[in-house]
Structure 1
Amino acid sequence: MSFCCRVPLAAFVCFLGCVCNATLLSADQRVEIDQFERTVLATGLVQPMELDLAPDGRVFLIELAGTIKVIDPKTQQQTVVGAIDVTTAQENGLIGLALDPHFAENGWLYLQYSPPDFSGQQISRFTFVDGKVNLASEKPLLRYEEQRRECCHHAGSLEFGPNGDLYIGTGDNTNPFNDSEGYAPLDERDGRSPWDAQRSAGNTNSYNGKILRIHPEPDGSYSIPDGNLFPRDGSIGRPEIYVMGCRNPWRINIDQRTGFLYWGDVGPDAGQDGPRGPRGYDEINQARSAGNFGWPYFIGDNFAYSMVDFESGQIGPPQKADVPVNRSVNNTGAEQLPPARGAMVYYPGGSSAEFPEVGSGGRTACAGPVFYHDAESSSPNGFPAAYNRTLFAYEWSRNAIYAVRLDADSNLERLERFLPDMTFVRPIDLQFDRGGSLYVIEYGETWGVNPDARLIRLDYVRGNRAPIASATASNDVGREPLTVQFSADESLDKDGDPLRYRWISVASGDPNSQSEVIADSPNPSVRFEHPGVYTITLEVRDPSGTVGVSTLPVIVGNARPQVAFVQPADGDFFSPGQTVRYRAVVRDLEDGTSDIEQADADGWHFIDSEAPTRLFVEAIPMAVDGETGQAESPGWNLIRNSDCLNCHAINRPLIGPSFVQIANKYREDPHQIEQSVARVLNGSTGVWGKVGMLPHVQHTPAEVRAMVEHVYSVTADASNPNARGFTNTMSIDRDAAKVRLEAVYSDLGRGKIPSLMGVGSVTLRNRHVQAEAADEFRGTSPLGSDRAEAKQFMGAIEHDGFLRFDQIPLDQTRTIALRVASAGAGGDIEVHRSSADGPLLGRVTVEVNGDWEAFYETTIPLRESQGRDDLYLVFKNERNRGGLMNVDAITFLP
């Protein structure tokens, strides 16, 4: 299985399919796009490959490294039910799964995998019993050899047809790179057979580059169905072959009504037509009967490749689709091949004239199931009748699903993007359940292990949908009496129904506390007279009585500390490896203040001598865009968008424990994950302190599990420098673009009211910045280079182009050093304050050094200036107004 290392592009063609044109459809054919809802059923998957659905609705799913899982879509519980030994070298592993058509009675499942001790693939039957795959029950059906000297293309996919025949996708097992130049790999030179697909996909005696069809028998053997491509006696080719001439058919599906076979075939890499033949195309194919689909002699609509002598480089004539011939020295099968058939849908990396709906970009075509609408189904969430007789194809590289509309005779009618506003992160398998809901495995962003791999279900929700409650509050912490402003403005009803609101309060940690309705308007102002920790629940109810809920805490009786930096100021510079001195001031209504002048002038209590131990300062590296270095896992994204960070921080306790504390307590006990999920969903008290965990019923169990798994993965980052005390120093060694200093002060609480924390922060900027990190640029563009510091520089520089850097502390900057190069016209770099034609602070001439990427350093002394202002680096050359120079990096020197 291989995608030939393509880099996906971001270009797509936007269009309107008939699903959006509801006015032209009858009532039973109309589709309301916003009725489609996505439910996350499982996260934390590791290279998920293929799924199948048991009759009782359970999802069986395999992962590349050999793990077999069962996921209950009702409880969203995932269980490892087996693991087989595989090799994962060269993209091998556990690559195919299918449940027996009579799985409910016999418990049989079939796996396609790469044994560690065999150079090839094996298809075996196993028995699922007592909730586990019995590995000792293995019945090997078929083995086929592969070469492992070179990559690629193992494909891997299993599907049963309506009459119990098992279809097996196999790749051409051929290296597509090097001298093939992205065209057909036809290299017949000595020792080059791994580069010759004529020995596999074009070879009637090879199982590779095929879709096989066998009929499993009860005793663990198999028979050959009628209608395969070659006779049962093997006189022409392997009798198991149903389709030959495939490159990488790694996702196949069978129309369960017609028995027609569909598959996506991942094509070669050539970007344009040439003397060797056509550019690369991916294909969606339909086989109504056994046949040859052309590879490696044809691609797309039987576009022919030229026969190339790789020894001499001579390019010969192309093959003929009606009489293809395999005369390769590596061919062990028939010379005369069956006529080649063209693809049903085919498209290149660029825009497709024939099928513009697929857009452009990377290519990894896959064929999913054919949907048939069941008017008698009792399921309320199955796909609508408008999609009856539709093949759902999909694109792993383009993060998209396509509706391939078929007519009554299963001919292609039209093709359209399915749910174009919904992104599917590399879909890798699709299956419909019996109720007509679509299950999708999202593989995740890269070919490797991804934190965003997950299983989702797409439902078409008819009738009323539950409203979504979203509660927010301002002034929700402080001394009594405390007036809190609540808001339900972000709540919504997808059906546009009017909503009724109810706000309910209960004192947390008090077993005698009774819930109390405190308001029934969307944006109430509520006064709390007595100290306490209160759990506030917002209920939103639609006219049918369906309810959505959201919760948040209110703490009355203790004011939150105020923390601010006196030194350094926001936007000041830091230099990696050098010491930063800070001074922070704390003011707390209960504890007092660390500002002795305020204590004397205003009569505040001067904060006690132990307080500095409760002030923790941390330097947190940040990216250019201002985000912290925290991993962008699905769990972290859910945490940031929920209310978790109101009570928790990563490295320090707030109202609740830090994520590091939670992880250190529980990560070694896997049973705690489910208990933590239950606590987050249902709420809890007394586990970590006086303030209980609020219920989070607005999240699904799968979402909460992703959040908990992320928390369990957190570790204390010892590389983040930190210090204690109101005044101190720390050395920042990390070479980050920016660093945020956070000062966190823990107060002493007040009676039964728990301790609160106040946070103050400033952001410091590295004196050394990449030119492409400018806040604005004109007349220049970022370009790539391995010789640039961050693999990018600013080039294509024109006269009067500029780079702008916002709010530079001018009294901390006396000289600017630049890494520059020029093999063009050269010119001046001027430094201006406030605007591109503002006051001139300095200038330097960039000399031509004859190499665009041989960067050298030059400096610009600046006139003495005070305050903070935007600095513009303006490029000048009146005589030669283009191709002036390149700029890699900039340092603002003291």
Structure 2
Amino acid sequence: MMKRHFFSRQSYKAVIPLCIGAIGLLAYSVRPLTDPGDKPDENRFTKVVLAEKLNEPLEMAILPDERVLFIERHGQVQLYSPTTKQVKTIASIPVSTKYKDKEGNETEAEDGLLGVNLDPNFEKNHWVYLYYSPAGNESKNILTRYELRGDELVLSSKKVLLEVATQREQCCHTGGSIDWDREGNLYLSTGDNTSPRATLYAPIDERPGRGPWDAQKSSGNTNDLRGKILRIHPEADGTYTIPEGNLFPKGTPKTRPEIYTMGHRNPYRIAVDKHTGYLYWGDVGPDAGEDSVGVGPTAEDEYNQAKKAGNFGWPYFVGNNKAYYDKDFTTGKGGAKFDPAHPVNDSPNNTGLNDLPPAQPAMIWYPAAESKQFPIMGTGGRSAMAGPTYYKDDFKGAKRPFPEYYNGKTFLFEWMRDMILAVSYDSKGDMTSTERFLPNMAFSHPIDMAFGPNGDLYVLEYGTGWFLKNDDSRLVKIEFNAGNRKPNVQASANQKAGAIPMVVKLSSEGTKDFDGDAITYQWKIYNRTGGSKAGGQPTVLNEPNPTFTFQKPGQYKAILTVTDAHGLKDSREVDIMAGNQPPSVALDILNGNKNFYFPGQPIAYQVSVTDKEDGSLATGKILAKQVMVKANYQTEGSAQNVSEAERGPAGHKFSEATYLGAGQVLMEKSDCKACHFVDKKSVGPAFIEVAKRYKNDANAVASLSNKIIKGGGGSWGDAIMTAHPQLGQNDASEIVKYILTLSDKKVATPSLPTKGTYTPDKNEKGDLVLQASYKDKGANGLPAQTGEQVLVLRNPLIPLGTSNSQSKGVTLFKMGTQPYPIVIVMGSDTYVQFNKFDLTGVRTMEFAVAVPKAQLMAVGGRIEIHIDSPTGPSLGQTEELLPNESKDPADLFKPSITKVTVTPTTGQHDLYFVFKNEKAGKSPLFVPVTVQLSN
């Protein structure tokens, strides 16, 4: 859940015995790439993993021979060889990776080996440039040059071109990205080297001794190299000159001529368009979750474009020049807003000019919540980064150039949100559109991107957790296929385990050829328990959907290979176990309602188990103590939202998602895992440590959920949690409740009887999950199988916002603090519908309905209850619901309660709540909130 403060730019083949079959033809009509200007189908791109389990990879450079040079933060220089397909450590640079405050306390730093790139004339001079934080007591980062001879980085060839003075007392923000323009000018990004702990807004703390908390010393300082993108021209002797066109002409007092752009917080990945010369970068923004009068605006990340040198505003402005206030950190009071046309730096920590160049707005800006200007950005944590601009003319003769469609587009990417964007421009270089690139391809925090000589797009993935050697950290490349594509194969079986003789229907349903080629099918069936490895011959079936009878016990593998008319092939496999029939488990409700439980009222149930090899529960061959029966509650409807397909029939395992509480479900769907693990520290604390610290804090849910929504820091060192306003109070609270349970000692719950009654808790608000399972003893030397059935009984309090469908005139919208969508009814004869409700035993329905006249101009009406259709049999209706005349904001949406005695009904029916007011026209009727079923 923490905000990413740093980072931003530039196959194996399974060996399977295959034969080509001659039977079965199928053609699918998927449009081939006939026009080079067409947007290509996503299936024309393939992600190839080259190396994985890397240790904090940050930046890379693709060599002319397709070797990949990349760096890891702790100082390792790595070289990937496409010939050997191996990664080799070719150098270890001594780097500083710790902060040490004045009291001597050490914390993990963002410092280290930060940037790498090749000299434009690398093929002749073999020069490699590295930017890093050298080990030692001197606080600085340095830009260096080394010679690469073959696979050796010659450490004795080191030349230091540039030093950037820093502070190593407090975090954060290093920048560190390196790129070039076509004139041979080197661009280097640097971060503001400023702690965000003093505030979630602009860090402009001018109090004595607070320099590490004041970005006016760096980003807003014309005489300091931090918080900038520098542009220099390296010379052969290891020095550099200043190109024309930088922000301050050489010799200007109180300025550094190396500065090209200033006013940056953490421009972690930059990229220069080699054709236009335009500079692109992502700037990782601050952490405030809301606007604050006297302080500043909601935090935003930025994607920027510089056609020429300029000031981009930090720490006085963010996004499209939203201004901060000149806050006095001594008094806590906010002064005047900063003026983007005339920003002034009057900090005592400033060594440069007081009057700064006008601030330039961002090209794209977005907060943690949904952006109205750029909704394509989505929601969540933020870490904007910039990648290359593609030109097809640069890849003439390449094996796999990207298509014409992407010509002139810039590839931007989002580290936290795992997305890549393609940005288009008009003839003046102004942005015209933004689109997702490969939205269905999964990435694990992309941290650098670059095109290789063959036209492939290389992507360096940092992995899930900060400061860790992540299992999902990898070097990959994305290949484009403009020609024939191999078939897309799907393979399945109607049963994967059973007693012998076992008749199995194998299926190739879903298999397709994207180019519409004729395709052939071949199945090969191996007995893994003694066949293929021992030299046994497979059974070969040359048809798409064969039926096969397994006569001998064993663990089998059925491999389907599909070949197109051009010889390209692909395979999928299915594991099958013959000789042990899975147990059949049935869990039956013996009385009353099959969809709902009623708190305090017993539920009679019975479990039956039969197993072909073990016997049955009824005959006593299977003992009751061998059957597990459990009852659990799932908070806030997390179980009721699982589909019938996920629940599965009797005898099949229930989806794991059903057992997760609402808080865990919400956490799994959020960006929490970018900064936290359950049981080990990342950039944020382990969840179990949070649970231990706040275990006895009665206010923990309220305080921590508020911090999740608004952001904050200081509780766990320098780490800052980004704001998550999109979650809402209820969702944030559920996440906190789940985290706090992690410190509880897990006590084994005894099984319920296989037949009996279970009485739901009178105070329970969640859904009831009843589960019965049996693990058999195995048979014929084969592993044990588990049979299971799960029944979900809903809580009888039903939010109308959870309805399965709504008619025209019914609007659902999600409010931040509400767990379910709110329903607003516009006009008469509208309705909401629920699928397959068991109404057995239901005697009354109690509605909570708000009729806010002052704000919604609601006119009221009534609710009719129908089954099977909106005009089907009526079970009853409410009295007329009258408008609430109160003008007190606290009472506007206060619901009134109305109870209806309904006609007794049995069995499952689609249930319709029909809203009526024949005089309403198109006026709003009311806001129905919940309905409570009672028996």
User: Under a length normalisation based on structure 1, what TM-score does the superposition of the two structures give?
Assistant: 0.66
Distance 1:291 1:177, change over 3 A: same
Give the structure 2 partner of residue 723 of structure 1: 751
SS in 1 for 2:118: coil
SS in 1 for 2:582: coil
Question: CA offset at residue 861 of structure 1?
Answer: 3.9
Question: CA offset at residue 868 of structure 1?
Answer: 3.2
Deviations 1:181-222 (A, max 9, x none): xxx999999999999987765542344542134678999x97
> In 1, Cα distance between the equivalents of 2:863 and 2:325?
56
SS in 2 for 1:811: coil
Give the structure 2 partner of residue 168 of structure 1: 189
> In 1, Cα distance between the equivalents of 2:777 and 2:316?
78
Return the match for 1:587 from 610, 614, 617: 610
Question: CA offset at residue 168 of structure 1?
Answer: 1.8
Flag structure 1 segments of 5+ consecutive residues without an equivalent: 5-19, 596-605, 631-639, 652-666, 669-713
Checking the alignment, whether the CA contact within 8 Å between 1:172 and 1:210 is kept in structure 2 is no
Deviations 1:848-878 (A, max 9, x none): 4841344565544444443333333444555
Return the match for 2:626 from 597, 603, 614: 614
Deviations 1:401-454 (A, max 9, x none): 1144698xx966976636476567675532223433213357899999999987
Distance 1:629 1:828, change over 3 A: closer
Checking the alignment, whether the CA contact within 8 Å between 2:521 and 2:542 is kept in structure 1 is yes
- Aligned letter for 2:254? I
Task: Count how many residue pairs are aligned between Structure 1 and Structure 2.
Answer: 764
SS in 1 for 2:625: helix
SS in 2 for 1:723: coil
> In 2, Cα distance between the equivalents of 1:24 and 1:146?
55
What is the RMSD computed on CA atoms of the aligned residues? 6.3
Question: CA offset at residue 241 of structure 1?
Answer: 1.9
Checking the alignment, whether the CA contact within 8 Å between 2:598 and 2:934 is kept in structure 1 is no
Deviations 1:350-374 (A, max 9, x none): 9xxxx99996867976431234557
Give the structure 2 partner of residue 506 of structure 1: 526
> In 2, Cα distance between the equivalents of 1:585 and 1:214?
78
Give the structure 2 partner of residue 439 of structure 1: 458
> In 1, Cα distance between the equivalents of 2:227 and 2:49?
35
Return the match for 1:38 from 38, 41, 47: 47
SS in 2 for 1:582: strand
> In 2, Cα distance between the equivalents of 1:495 and 1:585?
51
Question: 2:119 aligned with 1:111, yes or no?
Answer: no
- Aligned letter for 1:392? F
- Aligned letter for 2:46? E
Question: CA offset at residue 503 of structure 1?
Answer: 1.7
Larger mean Cα displacement after TM superposition, 426-435 or 766-775: 426-435
Give the structure 1 partner of residue 541 of structure 2: 519
Question: CA offset at residue 583 of structure 1?
Answer: 0.8
Return the match for 2:800 from 745, 759, 771: 771
- Aligned letter for 1:584? V
- Aligned letter for 2:537? S
Question: 2:844 aligned with 1:815, yes or no?
Answer: yes
Give the structure 2 partner of residue 758 of structure 1: 787
Distance 1:747 1:804, change over 3 A: same
SS in 1 for 2:386: strand
Distance 1:796 1:169, change over 3 A: farther
Deviations 1:112-133 (A, max 9, x none): 69x9999x98557799999999
- Aligned letter for 2:59? L
Checking the alignment, whether the CA contact within 8 Å between 2:110 and 2:174 is kept in structure 1 is no
Distance 1:551 1:174, change over 3 A: closer
Deviations 1:318-350 (A, max 9, x none): 73xxxx67475666423565687787x567899
Give the structure 2 partner of residue 549 of structure 1: 571
> In 1, Cα distance between the equivalents of 2:885 and 2:107?
45
Give the structure 1 partner of residue 675 of structure 2: none
Question: 2:383 aligned with 1:380, yes or no?
Answer: no
Checking the alignment, whether the CA contact within 8 Å between 1:615 and 1:745 is kept in structure 2 is yes
Checking the alignment, whether the CA contact within 8 Å between 2:127 and 2:145 is kept in structure 1 is no
Q: Percent identity?
A: 28
Give the structure 2 partner of residue 564 of structure 1: 586
Alignment of 1:278-357 (within 5 A): 284-287=304-307, 290-292=309-311, 319=341, 326=344, 328=346, 332-335=351-354
- Aligned letter for 2:751? A
Deviations 1:794-816 (A, max 9, x none): 34565544443333332332333
SS in 1 for 2:166: strand
Give the structure 2 partner of residue 893 of structure 1: 934
> In 2, Cα distance between the equivalents of 1:627 and 1:69?
49
SS in 1 for 2:254: coil
Distance 1:101 1:866, change over 3 A: closer
> In 1, Cα distance between the equivalents of 2:572 and 2:276?
48
- Aligned letter for 2:516? G
User: Under a length normalisation based on structure 2, what TM-score does the superposition of the two structures give?
Assistant: 0.63
Question: CA offset at residue 179 of structure 1?
Answer: 13
Checking the alignment, whether the CA contact within 8 Å between 1:263 and 1:284 is kept in structure 2 is yes
Checking the alignment, whether the CA contact within 8 Å between 1:383 and 1:460 is kept in structure 2 is yes
Checking the alignment, whether the CA contact within 8 Å between 2:118 and 2:128 is kept in structure 1 is no
Larger mean Cα displacement after TM superposition, 66-75 or 825-834: 66-75
- Aligned letter for 1:159? I
Checking the alignment, whether the CA contact within 8 Å between 1:437 and 1:460 is kept in structure 2 is yes
SS in 2 for 1:772: helix
Checking the alignment, whether the CA contact within 8 Å between 2:32 and 2:514 is kept in structure 1 is no
Question: CA offset at residue 159 of structure 1?
Answer: 0.7
> In 1, Cα distance between the equivalents of 2:929 and 2:153?
58
Distance 1:87 1:876, change over 3 A: farther
SS in 1 for 2:840: helix
Question: CA offset at residue 731 of structure 1?
Answer: 6.8
Give the structure 2 partner of residue 57 of structure 1: 67
Larger mean Cα displacement after TM superposition, 746-755 or 411-420: 411-420
Distance 1:457 1:513, change over 3 A: closer
- Aligned letter for 1:869? H
Give the structure 1 partner of residue 449 of structure 2: 430
> In 2, Cα distance between the equivalents of 1:117 and 1:469?
59
Give the structure 1 partner of residue 892 of structure 2: 852
Give the structure 1 partner of residue 823 of structure 2: 794
Checking the alignment, whether the CA contact within 8 Å between 2:653 and 2:789 is kept in structure 1 is no
- Aligned letter for 2:510? E
Question: 2:907 aligned with 1:867, yes or no?
Answer: yes
- Aligned letter for 1:101? L
Question: 2:560 aligned with 1:538, yes or no?
Answer: yes
> In 1, Cα distance between the equivalents of 2:338 and 2:234?
44
SS in 1 for 2:801: helix
Checking the alignment, whether the CA contact within 8 Å between 2:223 and 2:352 is kept in structure 1 is yes
Question: CA offset at residue 176 of structure 1?
Answer: 14
SS in 1 for 2:624: helix
Question: 2:863 aligned with 1:840, yes or no?
Answer: no
Question: CA offset at residue 550 of structure 1?
Answer: 1.9
Give the structure 1 partner of residue 16 of structure 2: none
Give the structure 1 partner of residue 708 of structure 2: none
> In 2, Cα distance between the equivalents of 1:768 and 1:341?
53
> In 1, Cα distance between the equivalents of 2:340 and 2:39?
48
Checking the alignment, whether the CA contact within 8 Å between 2:167 and 2:193 is kept in structure 1 is no
Distance 1:94 1:743, change over 3 A: farther
Alignment of 1:85-100 (within 5 A): 85-86=97-98, 93-94=110-111, 97-99=114-116
Alignment of 1:332-481 (within 5 A): 332-335=351-354, 366-373=385-392, 380-384=399-403, 387=406, 390-394=409-413, 399-404=419-424, 417=435, 419=437, 422=440, 428-440=447-459, 456-481=476-501
SS in 2 for 1:812: coil
The structure showing larger relative contact order (alpha-carbon pairs under 8 Å, at least 6 residues apart) is 2
